[in-house]
């Protein structure tokens, strides 16, 4: 804590839980006591999405597409099958479509009705993705939203916003960063950010290699 | 009532549960067809966003056949039908301040659409 000596007492107390947290805790206790939920299964679910399912999966898909033209072709033609080749399947990724960014087209993804998101490749959605401002402004003013995310898109580029309110989940295949020739698939995957696969960011620039 | 066991969590998640229906239903629209999203305001569950109701778009692709959530959520049956990705020009939705290049793609069930010129 950086508040100085006079605030040291803050450390002594835990703030009371908010209404939502209390409600969740009450529901969890009830469901567990009635035998409707096995708390170990709940822990396993949480561990799955904290440790094993997340945007590093999507980054591996993108990096593979960057180095392997045949894989890229399969990915764009039948994304669910091509992603399953790398072992990423399951809930909220049953029916996938991959959208390729090019110098002429920039794709970004939103779910205006709720928070639909491709879990097997990106994990659970970030809070901002579920927030009403992102959900309404992504369709109404995509270029403004992109600017706020630090993504400059020229007037000559077509912005396509994909509203995934039905059953298909979308993953953006960002453009491969320049000056990455000869990089390994693993090095390339490290450049792929979550936001670049939602279409509100770009991959990281590679670090210069020592000569 | 089945309770999810700890040993089944991984399999349940990785298997998923697609709403796709493998029935060879004829598609009413094909890519390139001009359509209008119906202006309807159902009281129950729907996946037809308000901002496209009554607006014109072009079918960009056919995703195949899926369970219809509007009836399924109400316990009125699966009513499988094609879902299309429909492209709406940003200016047709938001007016002249929108970019002339940009577009919004919305996945819409067959029941949400009329052919253009139908009204």
Whether residue A169 is found in the same domain as residue A95: yes
The reported pLDDT for the residue numbered A11 is 61
Q: Is residue A211 part of a domain?
A: no
Indicate yes or no: CB of B51 within 8 angstroms of CB of A166. no
pLDDT tens digits, one per residue of B68-101: 999 999 999 999 999 999 999 999 999 999 999 9
Tell me which of B107, B108, B109 to substitute to probe the interface with A (most A C-beta atoms closer than 10 Å): B107
Whether residue A93 is found in the same domain as residue A35: no
Q: A179 lies in which domain range? A: 54-198
Q: Is residue B5 part of a domain?
A: no
Q: What is the CATH number of the domain that holds A153?
A: 3.90.330.10
Q: B45 lies in which domain range? A: 19-115
Predicted confidence band at B116 (pLDDT cuts at 50, 70, 90)? very high
Q: Is residue A205 part of a domain?
A: no
A138 Cβ under 8 Å from any chain B Cβ: no
Burial tier of A134 (Cβ tally within 10 Å: 0-12, 13-18, 19+): buried
Strand locations in chain B (E): 34-37, 56-66, 81-89, 103-109, 113-115
Q: What is the CATH number of the domain that holds B85?
A: 2.30.30.50
Which residue do the tokens 């960011």 mark? Answer: A201
Residue burial B31-62, b: 16+ Cβ < 10 Å; e: rest: eebebbbbeeeeeeebbbbebbeebebbbbbb
- In 3-state terms, what secondary structure has residue A49? helix
C-alpha distance from A43 to closest chain B C-alpha (Å): 8
Whether residue A67 is found in the same domain as residue A147: yes
Whether residue A95 is found in the same domain as residue A28: no
Whether residue A36 is found in the same domain as residue A100: no
Provide the residue count of chain B: 119
Indicate yes or no: CB of B3 within 8 angstroms of CB of A35. yes
Neighbouring C-alpha atoms within 13 Å toward the C-beta of A208: 2
Tally of domains within chain B: 1
Q: Is residue A149 part of a domain?
A: yes
- In 3-state terms, what secondary structure has residue B3? coil
pLDDT tens digits, one per residue of A23-43: 999 999 999 999 999 999 999
Indicate yes or no: CB of B105 within 8 angstroms of CB of A162. yes
Q: Phi-psi category of A39—alpha, beta or left, where left has phi over 0 and alpha has psi -120 to 50?
A: alpha
Whether residue A101 is found in the same domain as residue A70: yes
| Mean pLDDT of the A121-131 span | 95
Of A91, A161, A168, the CB nearest to B13: A91
Q: Of the ranges A64-73, A97-106, B16-25, which one carries the lowest mean pLDDT score?
A: B16-25
Cα B113–Cα B117–Cα B119 angle in degrees, nearest 5: 75
The reported pLDDT for the residue numbered A184 is 96
Q: Is residue B84 part of a domain?
A: yes
Q: Is residue A137 part of a domain?
A: yes
Whether residue A28 is found in the same domain as residue A95: no
Whether residue A82 is found in the same domain as residue A35: no
Tally of domains within chain A: 2
What residues of A act catalytically? 111, 114-116
Whether residue A67 is found in the same domain as residue A168: yes
B99 Cβ under 8 Å from any chain A Cβ: yes
């Amino acid at each position: 804590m950086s508040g100085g000596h006079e605030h040291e007492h803050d450390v002594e107390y835990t703030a009371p839980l908010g209404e939502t947290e209390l409600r969740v805790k009450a529901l969890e206790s009830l469901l567990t006591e009635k035998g409707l939920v096995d708390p170990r299964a709940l822990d396993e679910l949480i561990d799955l999405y904290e440790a094993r399912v997340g945007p590093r999966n999507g980054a591996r898909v993108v990096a593979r597409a960057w180095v392997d033209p045949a894989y890229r072709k399969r990915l764009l033609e039948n994304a669910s099958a091509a992603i399953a080749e790398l072992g990423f399947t399951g809930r909220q990724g049953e029916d996938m479509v991959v959208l390729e960014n090019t110098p002429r087209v920039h794709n970004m993804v939103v779910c205006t009705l709720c928070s639909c998101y491709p879990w097997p490749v990106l994990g659970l959605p970030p809070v901002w993705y579920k927030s009403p401002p992102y959900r309404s402004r992504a369709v109404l003013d995509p270029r403004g939203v992109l600017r706020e995310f630090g993504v400059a898109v020229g007037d000559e580029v077509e912005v396509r916003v994909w509203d995934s309110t039905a059953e298909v989940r979308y993953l953006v295949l960002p453009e491969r960063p320049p000056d990455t020739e000869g990089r390994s698939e693993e090095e390339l995957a490290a450049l792929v950010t979550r936001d670049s696969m939602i279409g509100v960011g770009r991959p990281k620039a590679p670090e210069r290699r020592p000569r | 009532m089945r309770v999810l066991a700890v040993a089944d969590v991984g399999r349940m998640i990785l298997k998923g549960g697609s709403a796709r229906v493998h029935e060879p239903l004829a598609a009413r629209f094909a890519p390139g067809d001009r359509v209008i999203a119906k202006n309807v305001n159902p009281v129950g569950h729907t996946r037809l966003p308000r901002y496209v109701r009554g607006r014109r778009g072009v079918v960009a692709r056919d995703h195949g056949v899926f369970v219809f959530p509007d009836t399924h959520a109400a316990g009125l049956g699966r009513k499988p039908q094609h879902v299309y990705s429909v492209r709406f020009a940003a200016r047709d939705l938001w007016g002249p301040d929108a970019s002339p290049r940009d577009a919004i793609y919305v996945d819409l069930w067959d029941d949400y659409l009329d052919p253009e010129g139908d009204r």
